[in-house]
Amino acid sequence: MKLSEAIVAIMIKEGITDAFGIPGAGINSLYHEMDKVQDKIKHYTMRHEESCVHAASGYYRSSGKMAVALCTSGPGATNFITGIYTSNIDSIPLVAITGQGVRALMGKDAFQCVDMVEIAKPISKLAVCLTNPKTAVDEVINAFKVAKEGKPGVVVIDLPLDMQQCEVEFDPATYVPTTVTNPKASPAAIKVAMDMLADAKNPVILMGGGVILAQAQEELVKFAEIMQIPVVTTYMAKGGIPVNHPLNAGNPGIQVGQPIGNKVFVESDVVLAIGNRFTDRHTGAIGVYRGSRKFIHINVERKEIGKIFTPDLGIVGDAKDAIAQLLTAAENIGQEKGSARVAEIPKLQVSMKRKVDHDCVPINPHRVFDELNKAFDDDTMFTTGCGITQIWSGQLQEINKPKRYLVSGGSGTLGYDIPAAFGAMLGDKKGNKAVCVMGDFGFTFHVQEIATAATNNVPLIVCIVNNAYLGLIRQNQKFAYGYEYGVAMPENQATMDYVKVAEGFACEGERVFKPEDIAKAFERAKKATKPYIIDIVCEPQAHCSMGQDIENVKEFNAE
């Protein structure tokens, strides 16, 4: 059979039921085979190649099920790059297939013929160009395995046009879907970790996004309940423990952190960190973050341990297995008695909340997030990309379930929001809505995908926090350099009409000026059967709380 036919057969065997792409001359041989299996794989034609990858990413984040992204050669393939980077740095497994010129023209500056492997290699888990018919099928199979095993990520398959049509040996009837075996934590190391926690006066558990990916958050919360240890979460683990759980001490960090999270973390002496990367927006100044605390770091990827700093105990292992071992050890010890510090957490959850009930006009952005928390249930999904709105979202949104807060964490990609929400709603399969929380500037990145959502009857919601500024950049210019330049966009609250943009793309929308009108707008959006855009006009000069280290976060909007 042709390689294209084999690739499609492998996709079906691997459980792929949805694909996001844009056909083109460089990949039409593969699309010819996709056309034959429309009853098995639903294809969604996006309106920009980057959005294909974001949609596949959102699909996985909501469902835990892989999709594929497809595009043609040349600029189509290079448009994939930001999506690949965005998904890979957040450990989202997917296979991205790019068309390519025929092998004879590669490296000769032929039309739409670019070296995708060299371009994608630094920002993907694996990038391969299929050039040998004898090994091509095995390389495709390996792509699905590599995407899923260990620390998940994006695998790029660059597919020359003549290779798509070449004959290969493959029998779909005998194909067995790939399985992965991740490293297991050493029982001896788990014992050392338990001893360190037992000796600690003020331990804390740091739940990372890897715990959510491993679907181990419930077991980790049970472990915390038995041991009576506070839980703080990284940005990517938001929703891993319910907001009002008596052990939930919020998010530490210099940007998307919360006062309670930083307080509990700073006062801790031993940190059990699982499935996290100690990234800069979380840690801030490393010296302050580390302090005199001891760190236990558990990660499925050996390279992550010691990458930022050397922990007192590093354990290589799958989060699901490591947490299961920790839970068994805790159950053997029995229910522990909580300290006065632990008993104080529910009070801190209330007393250390940032103020959100502003009633001023223009609207204070904090009020928008207060209304979001009230209007949407725990099954609603949220996406956000980058900027000051993302930071407000991380600080102020209340998420009670995993796989409901689907954000661009490691890359902070403007334009991720809408296509990711589209993919998330398709992946959810339960009819839950997704809300894109974004700024007015970010809305113009891949706004065309609201048309994709409208065409496919996916009624996502876009909430624009319109402050008519590049808000985060303005704040950095003001406080770090003492100037402001190139960041004011007053036209976004004046001559620009995002409601008309929505209507032009077969969606619905409205603009909100008063805080008391936000709730009703959200109710109309929830009932809408089309994508619904809400443009909320906010105070242009509002700041977000942040700092250089977790002990010195400057708070704004306190009054």
Sign of CA dihedral 232, 236, 237, 243: positive
- pLDDT, average across residues 236-245: 98
Q: How many domains does the chain have?
A: 3
pTM: 0.97
Q: Tell me if 319 sits within 8 A of 206, measured CB to CB.
A: no
Mean pLDDT of 168-181: 94
Beta-strand pair 381-384/434-439: parallel
Cis peptide before 362 (omega within 30 of 0): yes
Q: Which residue has the tokens 């001891």?
A: 294
Reported confidence tier of residue 106, pLDDT bands at 50, 70, 90: confident
Q: Which pLDDT tens digit goes with each residue over 325-341?
A: 999 999 999 999 999 99
CATH number at residue 156: 3.40.50.970
The domain boundary residue, chosen from 174, 202, 228: 174
Say what the pLDDT of residue 40 is: 98
Q: 250 and 264 in contact (C-beta within 8 Å)?
A: yes
**174, 203, 227 — which closes off a domain?**
174
Q: Are residues 346 and 478 in the same domain?
A: no
Residue with tokens 């997917």: 94
Evaluate whether 96 touches 157 at the Cβ level (below 8 Å): yes
Q: Both 495 and 406 in a single domain? A: yes
In a domain, 304, yes or no: yes
Based on the fold, state whether residues 191 and 170 are members of the same structural domain.
no
pLDDT value of position 281: 93
Is 357 part of any domain?
no
pLDDT over 80 at 484, yes or no:
yes
Read off the pLDDT band of 381 (50, 70, 90). Answer: very high
Domain shared by 434 and 504, yes or no:
yes
Rounded to the nearest 10 degrees, how much is the dihedral formed by the CA atoms of 256, 446, 122, 14?
Answer: 100
Q: Is the pLDDT of residue 461 over 80?
A: yes
Residue 243 lies in a domain: yes
CB atoms under 10 Å from CB of 134, counted, come to 8
Predicted confidence (pLDDT) at residue 150 exceeds the cutoff of 90: yes
Same domain, 335 and 455: no
Task: Judge if 315 and 197 occupy the same domain.
Answer: yes
* DSSP-H helix ranges across 132-257: 136-148, 161-164, 187-199, 209-213, 217-227
263/163 same-domain check: no
In a domain, 544, yes or no: yes
For residues 291 and 400, membership in a common domain is answered with: no
Q: Is residue 116 part of a domain?
A: yes
pLDDT tier at 110 (50, 70, 90 boundaries)?
confident
- Full domain range(s) for residue 266: 187-351
The confidence score (pLDDT) of residue 558 equals 67
Q: Is the pLDDT of residue 386 over 90?
A: yes
In the numeric block, which tokens belong to residue 269?
Answer: 């002496």
Q: In terms of domains, do 308 and 378 share one?
A: no
Give the whole-number percent of the chain exceeding pLDDT 90: 97
Over residues 258-283, mean pLDDT: 97
| Structural domain ending residue among the three candidates 174, 202, 220 | 174
Count of Cβ atoms closer than 10 Å to residue 537 Cβ? 21
Q: What is the mean pLDDT of residues 102-124?
A: 93
Query: Is 360 among the domain residues?
Result: no
Digit-coded pLDDT (tens) for 47-81: 999 999 999 999 999 999 999 999 999 999 999 99
Question: Is the residue at 182 inside a domain?
Answer: no
Question: Looking at the structure, do residues 142 and 208 belong to the same domain, yes or no?
Answer: no
Q: 155 pairs with which residues across the strands?
A: 95, 126
pLDDT of 559 higher than 70: no
Percent of the chain with pLDDT over 70: 100
* Residue 557's pLDDT band (cuts 50, 70, 90): confident
Average pLDDT over residues 122-136: 98
Same domain, 395 and 429: yes
pLDDT of residue 421: 98
In a domain, 66, yes or no: yes
Q: How does DSSP assign 418-473, residue by residue?
A: HHHHHHHHHHH-S---EEEEEEHHHHTSSTTHHHHHHHTT---EEEEEE-SB-HHH
Q: What is the CATH number of the domain that holds 200?
A: 3.40.50.1220
Residues 404 and 463 in one domain: yes
